[in-house]
Amino acid sequence: MNAQHLTHVDEAGAARMVDVSAKEITAREATAQGVVLCSSTVIDLLRGEGVPKGDALAVARIAGIQAAKRTPDLIPLAHPIAVHGVKVDLDVQDHGVEITATVRTADRTGIEMEALTCVAVAGLALIDMIKAVDRLAEIGRVRVVAKSGGRSGDWRRD
Amino acid sequence: MNAQHLTHVDEAGAARMVDVSAKEITAREATAQGVVLCSSTVIDLLRGEGVPKGDALAVARIAGIQAAKRTPDLIPLAHPIAVHGVKVDLDVQDHGVEITATVRTADRTGIEMEALTCVAVAGLALIDMIKAVDRLAEIGRVRVVAKSGGRSGDWRRD
Amino acid sequence: MNAQHLTHVDEAGAARMVDVSAKEITAREATAQGVVLCSSTVIDLLRGEGVPKGDALAVARIAGIQAAKRTPDLIPLAHPIAVHGVKVDLDVQDHGVEITATVRTADRTGIEMEALTCVAVAGLALIDMIKAVDRLAEIGRVRVVAKSGGRSGDWRRD
Amino acid sequence: MNAQHLTHVDEAGAARMVDVSAKEITAREATAQGVVLCSSTVIDLLRGEGVPKGDALAVARIAGIQAAKRTPDLIPLAHPIAVHGVKVDLDVQDHGVEITATVRTADRTGIEMEALTCVAVAGLALIDMIKAVDRLAEIGRVRVVAKSGGRSGDWRRD
Amino acid sequence: MNAQHLTHVDEAGAARMVDVSAKEITAREATAQGVVLCSSTVIDLLRGEGVPKGDALAVARIAGIQAAKRTPDLIPLAHPIAVHGVKVDLDVQDHGVEITATVRTADRTGIEMEALTCVAVAGLALIDMIKAVDRLAEIGRVRVVAKSGGRSGDWRRD
Amino acid sequence: MNAQHLTHVDEAGAARMVDVSAKEITAREATAQGVVLCSSTVIDLLRGEGVPKGDALAVARIAGIQAAKRTPDLIPLAHPIAVHGVKVDLDVQDHGVEITATVRTADRTGIEMEALTCVAVAGLALIDMIKAVDRLAEIGRVRVVAKSGGRSGDWRRD
């Protein structure tokens, strides 16, 4: 792929879904991360101090997993991919909740968008849970941190 | 609403969709922002320097508008809201693309989640367009910047 | 609305969902029509001559009704509308199947797109039923034939 | 397949999804076409004469691509197919906009319905963009024009 | 409504979505129940005896809430309804898990189908969590137990 | 798989989608059953005695087939599976309607959830058709009755 061209638009600039039917099925994995920055009051609530945190983190995890499956419905030019495994970790720290998602497939194209979508939507669902307590909460640093498999090989963000 | 409790979980911690059927229908508006940080190569491409940028920004705008409509499908405890207007601005700057979304409704509950979802998914769709050129691109600072209407009145992030 | 401008794009050409939150809720109805042109062999089968036609027309009717509900998911800039009633007639004639759909709502904006989507998808579902028998089948003349209610009043195609 | 029977209904007339699990995975391609007939005023607007046409054609292209992916959700008895590539051309001519969609896959069954759905929904999205300017616009001649791959081999409409 | 006719089919037997646009918006509530019958091993696991039950019940609750929102997408002739509140209780008893869902709206038609869909899908999601431990698990007695609001007034199953 | 652990939660109790990318693609089939218990008045209507039953059973069949395809969207931790064949039988008996669904695939994991979802949603759609005539109708005994293929081999409920 020529790095000087935008993928997903042809030479006339028209959006298209790039043909991957001739690519091989190989095992692929991608990991993405992001963070929901929020107040210390929210952090206390998510740690269950004083009041039940209940399903709060579960809602975010499940929203992320479901969004990974729905990536081709959300991202117009993304290929449908059979998502074969998803793991979402929510790590409640003092400054916010670090979200890490790892997605695996055996399919014809990369799964980075699924991992990013998983993190972004888990973050949105978490914001929805806490927005009445902290209207300043924000999602930051949603990015791919590692990928393996496929033609372009393994890669890890430094 | 007591700021010391997580919304969306009851006293036993169980997730539930809070009943809003008794709330009044009022005009509401929310604006959210975020940014896709990317390389100067991508910025040049998005500005159409040398190669056609084509539908690249249109894809992100449309993905954002559609995601705003699909918010209750993505966010487990969000209420279905009749989205009555959506505007997405993509401002290509030197460091990245600033995304601003304004969503309007006349309904029973706030529309901040729709605005945030619009920004996050527009950002994801933009990443999908540019990821072959810049695998380090990331989405940052997805947050509500203003809201008006509804019981809690007008608010603007400082 | 100025008939010299495309709806759904702003003065800079950017797609947006036009704000309808200030429009009144009124009863609205739209009727659309279309036709699936097909061979006489198919017509005989759909009339149940010799073999059971079974659920063939029911599948098309149901696909059309469901598509009417899913219009805002399919048409990027369409507003979500509460579809309050749908009727799909399939009239098997010698040259093909005439499809007529009438959709009703009490909402803030017109329901022509729902009626058109209903007809088009009923037509697609019918093609799917018959394509093994007639690969030349085609959908034609999908158009609005009447509308009533709303600001622009009643209208009937001549 | 016996051309004298409707596919998708069994001997008692009950709708069913035909079992294709034993069919081989092969590369398949289908091309469909259709037209949106509209007024010369619309044609001028879509050519960008005097006012920005902006995202108008992009919206239709993207709606078509997304609909191709959503075919099994719209067409009750259609098999889920992994869509591997989609290209939508919109050719603005004097009498209307000719739409051509080519869809590719490597899967167990044909992809004609995906190509037809792509054309029909691109046409619906285009109508949505122009309906305020031309309420007489209509979609016509939605049909398969070529297919290749699979058991039944290559075929081209004359 | 004449109790001697099937709703949703017209006098010719054709499926249609009954027009409710003239019905008034009123507060409505429906409660449905069902049970997932399962082995004592599963019950022990769901009570968290020995191993973490973790998100198991949360997954079922969230699946039920989301399914309530998606009812018109699942049930072909159901009207889109703005779901305004959903509560799902999962009561782990010795013989199985009793599921109770209460759904509220302010809309033009009843919300029984949303309550039933919520219970059925919560049950399906629970089965999915436990099926590797108990392949004999089954869903039983999914039924409406109470409704209030709307033209037909309050009702409670004896 | 250790029968003493809940699938779909990890050792800390967090929901996850189990990785199946290393499993082989094999032909798999599952059959599920359930029943809609209803009054003799409904049975008479469904048998078409006196009034046209029309599309009533077709609606339930089609809803079931579509739900089978949408299983991964409804069941949070279910894997996307390419559904390759679905058959739904509705047997109108004196006490109610017996529903049997058989689903087939060639994929990496079992298809029992698709069969169960098909039966449950066919049942819900049938309830929707008859609820105005019989508000006491209920869905019962939704369960897997047989499966074949895959690592765990063939199985039949006694």
Is residue D77 part of an annotated ligand binding site?
yes
Is F15 close to A58, i.e. CB distance below 8 A? yes
Which pLDDT score is estimated for E2? 41
pLDDT beyond 60 at A127 = yes
Q: What is the DSSP string of D25-58?
A: PEEEEEEEEEEEE--HHHHHHHTTSSS--TTHHH
Show the CA angle centred on residue D69, arms to residues D63 and D72, nearest 5°. Answer: 120
Tokens of B39: 């390389």
SS3 of residue D119 by DSSP: helix
Single-letter residue type at D66: Q
Interface test with C, best of E7, E10, E11, E16 (most C CBs within 10 A): E16
Is residue E79 part of an annotated ligand binding site?
yes
Tokens of E12: 């010719």
Spatial distance between the Cα atoms of A82 and D80, rounded to a whole number of angstroms: 11
The pLDDT of E8-17, averaged and rounded, is: 90
Interface test with E, best of A62, A65, A69, A121 (most E CBs within 10 A): A62
Which pLDDT score is estimated for C6? 85
Spatial distance between the Cα atoms of E105 and E118, rounded to a whole number of angstroms: 14
Is F87 close to D16, i.e. CB distance below 8 A? yes
Is A73 close to D66, i.e. CB distance below 8 A? yes
3-state SS string for C96-122: EEEEEEEEEEEECCCCHHHHHHHHHHH
> What does the pLDDT look like over E43-59, one tens digit per residue?
999 998 766 677 889 99
Burial A48-78 (b: 16+ CB within 10 A, else e): eeeebbbbbbbbbbbbbbbbbbbbbbbbbbb
Class of the CATH-defined domain C26-149: alpha beta
pLDDT beyond 50 at F1 = no
The pLDDT of C141-158, averaged and rounded, is: 92
Q: Which residues of D touch C142 (CB under 8 A)?
A: 120, 123, 138-140, 142
F14 and A CB contact within 8 Å? yes
Q: Is the dihedral of CA C79, C82, C83, C85 positive or negative?
A: negative
* Residue E128 annotated among the catalytic residues of the structure: yes
Residue D68: name the closest of D50, D88, D48, D51 by CA. Answer: D88
Nearest by CB to B74, from A4, A50, A121: name it: A121
Query: Do A123 and A38 meet the contact criterion of CB atoms below 8 Å apart?
Result: no
Class of the CATH-defined domain A26-150: alpha beta
Tokens of F127: 């309830």
High-pLDDT (> 70) share of chain C, %: 95
* CA of A61 vs chain E CAs: smallest distance (Å): 9
Which pLDDT score is estimated for E28? 95
Single-letter residue type at F89: D
> What does the pLDDT look like over E63-122, one tens digit per residue?
999 999 999 999 999 999 999 999 999 999 999 999 999 999 999 999 999 999 999 999
The pLDDT of C63-68, averaged and rounded, is: 98
Q: Which residues of B are catalytically annotated?
A: 128
Which pLDDT score is estimated for A51? 63
Residue C154, number of CB atoms within 10 A of its CB: 10
Query: Do A26 and A149 meet the contact criterion of CB atoms below 8 Å apart?
Result: yes
Cβ-based contacts under 8 A for chains C and D: 212
High-pLDDT (> 90) share of chain B, %: 81
Which residues have C-beta within 8 Å of that of residue A20, sequence separation ≥ 6? Answer: A79, A108, A109, D84, D85
Tokens of B98: 């600033």
Chain D touching partners, 3 or more CB pairs below 8 A: A, B, C, F
Spatial distance between the Cα atoms of A69 and F73, rounded to a whole number of angstroms: 8
Chain A touching partners, 3 or more CB pairs below 8 A: B, D, E, F
C82 to chain B: nearest residue by CA?
Answer: B82
Chain C touching partners, 3 or more CB pairs below 8 A: B, D, E, F
C82 to chain E: nearest residue by CA?
Answer: E80
Of the pLDDT bands very low, low, confident and very high (cuts 50, 70, 90), residue A156 is: very high
Residue E139: name the closest of F141, F115, F124 by CA. Answer: F141
Which residues have C-beta within 8 Å of that of residue E158, sequence separation ≥ 6? Answer: none
Between residues C8 and B124, which one has the greater pLDDT? B124
> What does the pLDDT look like over D70-89, one tens digit per residue?
999 999 999 999 999 999 99
Tokens 């209803």, located at residue: F38
D10 and C CB contact within 8 Å? yes
Q: Which residues of D touch C61 (CB under 8 A)?
A: none
pLDDT beyond 90 at F52 = no
User: Which of B33-42, B44-53, C26-35, E109-118 is predicted least confidently?
Assistant: B44-53
Q: Quick one: E27-149 is in which CATH superfamily? A: Molybdopterin cofactor biosynthesis C (MoaC) domain (3.30.70.640)
E21 and C CB contact within 8 Å? yes
Spatial distance between the Cα atoms of C106 and F87, rounded to a whole number of angstroms: 38
pLDDT beyond 80 at B139 = yes
Burial of F48 (0-12, 13-18, 19+ CB in 10 A): middle
The CATH number of B26-156 is: 3.30.70.640
Q: Mark which residues 46-75 of A lie under 8 Å from E by CB.
A: 55, 58-59, 61-62
> What does the pLDDT look like over F63-113, one tens digit per residue?
999 999 999 999 999 999 999 999 999 999 999 999 999 999 999 999 999
> What does the pLDDT look like over E26-48, one tens digit per residue?
999 999 999 999 999 999 999 98
CA distances from C49 to A158, B41, C99, E78 (A): 70, 65, 21, 33
Is B62 close to D61, i.e. CB distance below 8 A? no
- What are the DSSP E strand ranges found in chain D? 26-37, 83-92, 96-107, 138-148, 155-156
Q: Which CATH number fits domain F26-148: 2.40.30.160, 3.30.70.640, 3.40.50.300, 3.50.50.60?
A: 3.30.70.640
User: Which of C121-130, C146-155, D131-140 is predicted least confidently?
Assistant: C146-155
Spatial distance between the Cα atoms of A62 and A11, rounded to a whole number of angstroms: 40
pLDDT beyond 80 at F3 = no
The mean pLDDT value of chain D amounts to 92
pLDDT beyond 90 at A59 = yes
The mean pLDDT value of chain A amounts to 92
Give binding residues of F for substrate as ranges: 77-79, 113-114
Tokens of C140: 């034609």
Nearest by CB to F14, from A61, A70, A85: name it: A61
* CA of A83 vs chain F CAs: smallest distance (Å): 7
Q: Is the dihedral of CA A123, F6, A81, D62 positive or negative?
A: negative
Between residues C122 and D2, which one has the greater pLDDT? C122
Which pLDDT score is estimated for F56? 86
Active-site choice (C128, C134, C154, C158): C128
Instruction: Give me the interface pTM, i.e. the ipTM.
Output: 0.96
DSSP A8: T
D58 to chain C: nearest residue by CA?
Answer: C15
SS3 of residue F96 by DSSP: strand
Tokens 């028998």, located at residue: C133
Of the pLDDT bands very low, low, confident and very high (cuts 50, 70, 90), residue B25 is: very high
Is F61 close to D18, i.e. CB distance below 8 A? no
Q: How many CA atoms lie within 13 A of C44 on its CB side?
A: 11
Spatial distance between the Cα atoms of D71 and D60, rounded to a whole number of angstroms: 16
Q: Which residues of A touch F22 (CB under 8 A)?
A: 27, 106
pLDDT beyond 90 at D50 = no
pLDDT beyond 60 at A157 = yes
A55 to chain E: nearest residue by CA?
Answer: E58
CA dihedral F28, F31, F32, F33 (to 10 degrees): 170
Query: Do E4 and F51 meet the contact criterion of CB atoms below 8 Å apart?
Result: yes
Spatial distance between the Cα atoms of E150 and C16, rounded to a whole number of angstroms: 37
The pLDDT of C108-126, averaged and rounded, is: 96
Residue F121: name the closest of E140, A69, E124, E6 by CA. Answer: E124
Is B62 close to D59, i.e. CB distance below 8 A? yes
pLDDT beyond 90 at E158 = no
Which pLDDT score is estimated for A2? 41
Is residue E49 part of an annotated ligand binding site?
no
Spatial distance between the Cα atoms of C136 and C142, rounded to a whole number of angstroms: 18
The pLDDT of B80-94, averaged and rounded, is: 96
Of the pLDDT bands very low, low, confident and very high (cuts 50, 70, 90), residue D51 is: low
A147 to chain B: nearest residue by CA?
Answer: B135
E6 and C CB contact within 8 Å? no
Nearest by CB to A19, from D58, D66, D85: name it: D85
The pLDDT of D25-53, averaged and rounded, is: 90
High-pLDDT (> 90) share of chain D, %: 80
Give binding residues of C as ranges: 77-79, 113-114
Is residue A78 part of an annotated ligand binding site?
yes
Of the pLDDT bands very low, low, confident and very high (cuts 50, 70, 90), residue C37 is: very high
High-pLDDT (> 70) share of chain F, %: 95
* CA of E40 vs chain A CAs: smallest distance (Å): 25
The pLDDT of A43-61, averaged and rounded, is: 85
E146 and F CB contact within 8 Å? no
Tokens of B88: 């997405």
Query: Do A73 and B26 meet the contact criterion of CB atoms below 8 Å apart?
Result: no
Which pLDDT score is estimated for A1? 36
Which residues have C-beta within 8 Å of that of residue F135, sequence separation ≥ 6? Answer: E144, E155
